[in-house]
Amino acid sequence: MKSFNGKNVLITGGASGIGRLMALQLLDEGANVVIWDIHQENMDRLQQAVKAKPGKLITVCCDVSRKGEIFSKASEFKAKMGDIHLLINNAGVVSGKSFMDCTEAQIEKTFSINAMALLWTTRAFLPDMIENNEGHIVNIASAAGLIGVAGLADYAASKFAAFGFDESIRVELKKRGSAVKTTIVCPYYINTGMFRGVKSRFSWLLPILDETKVARKIIRAVRKEKPRLLMPWTVYTVMPLRVFPVAVFDFVAGILGIHNSMDEFTGRT
């Protein structure tokens, strides 16, 4: 996707954080951007910020934890704007609690938004992409989708699911000979406020990422049709480290402070 001009883009959870920043960049490049979000006040602020942008912005209140709502809003989207060219599954939540401290409702919410919503939005829009032999799906996962982290059991499980889902549909599309692409994004903690309070023991190795730079890198990855984007570069070492015994893997993670990174987590207040 060399140019986004005139392309139809859908970003879930796109009224704040990296979703908002990606929307602004895509609007600058002339895309027609639809935001699905549940926070009307954030969508109103976004509308105020884009009046001079060349692209077109539509904001829609949509709860992606509800499968029926996803398919209903998808039908409305296609009736008004036609086919979608770029789907960015960005919506996400975090409880930030140890597994036994999470309520059942929190666990279900984490999975319905971080994992199941990806499946339903893809089911809603992928058939048309396949038929048109054109399209790109971005799934925002996490470095916690590659390594389990203390205090993030439900979140990590949902992001592992997102990683596996993206990898599977990427291979399925390749087997079909389809031109539709996917990109899985696995960043370390980002300074959006979602993970306020997290700490990095060695910030030169595992820095808390700047949201503006992350958004730009994701759009660049789409343009280059990269199947995988991990940030920072040190996250790429997680997979080769898994060839070592579990005790060694856990020792390295402990030295890096990964399992203490959530000790002072507060999240959005």
In the chain the first and final C-alpha atoms are separated, in Å, by 38
Q: ω before 232 within 30° of 0 (cis)? A: yes
Cβ count near 260 (within 10 Å) = 16
Half-sphere exposure of 63 (CA within 13 A, CB side): 7
State how far the Cα of 260 lies from the Cα of 199, in Å rounded to an integer: 8
**Contact of 2 with 223, CB cutoff 8 Å:** yes
Catalytically active residues are 155
Sheet holding 56-61, edge to edge: 56-61, 32-37, 8-12, 86-89, 136-140, 181-187, 228-231
Q: Which residue in this structure is represented by tokens 């539709």? A: 180
B/e letters for 17-40, b = 16+ CB within 10 Å, e = fewer, are bbbbbbbbbbbebebbbbbbbbee
Q: What share of the chain is helix, strand, coil (3-state, %, to 5)?
A: 50, 15, 35
CB 149 within 8 A of CB 188: no
